[in-house]
Amino acid sequence: MVFGLPEFVEIVIISVLLSFVSVIVYRVSADQRAIKNIKSEMKSLNERIKKAQKEGNQKEMNKMSGELMKLSGKQFQMNMKPMMISMAIFLAAFWFLGASYGEAVIPSPISIPFVGNQLGWFHLYILIMLPGSLFFRKMLMVE
């Protein structure tokens, strides 16, 4: 107990906060309109590639695949800044969580495959962070 609450509650609160912070960092540091445009262009190119594949037009497929690779690279570059900021935040958070809750064992109401019915702080963090991030991304309309 770091904050005077049960370990389970503290880890859940920290996980939810980290999920929220990561989504906010991504929303603020990445151009959402540009990412949305790139995703739509990539979807269109994938459809055109499938059409060319059905027609057996290898030259057109290669051309569009090259364009798709360029767009993928551009999208990767746009995601790099939020990824670096998030990584710095998460490294500090993981250090804190590991130091504070490294020995914590939280009983699980159900048995989880490969984990069992006892969770460490990292397992609980993952179980809370994944749906939390999806929820906040939908709520804040982040691409």
Q: Could you give the count of Cα atoms lying within 13 Å of 52 in the half-sphere of its Cβ?
A: 15
- State the Cα–Cα distance between residues 91 and 140, nearest whole angstrom: 24
Q: Which two tokens stand for residue 81?
A: 């800044």
pLDDT for the residue numbered 80: 92
Reported as a single tens digit per residue, the pLDDT across 41-76 is 999 998 988 888 888 888 888 888 889 899 999 999
**pLDDT tens-digit series, residues 71-103:** 999 999 999 999 999 999 999 999 999 898 888
0.85 exceeded by pTM: no
Name the average pLDDT for the chain. 89
**CB distance 97 to 14 below 8 Å:** yes
Taking the C-alpha atoms of residue 38 and residue 29, their distance in angstroms, rounded to an integer, is: 16
pLDDT on residue 1: 65
DSSP 103: T
The closest alpha carbon to 129, from 83, 85, 79, 90, belongs to 90
pLDDT tens-digit readout, 117-126: 888 888 889 9
What does the pLDDT read at residue 39?
Answer: 92
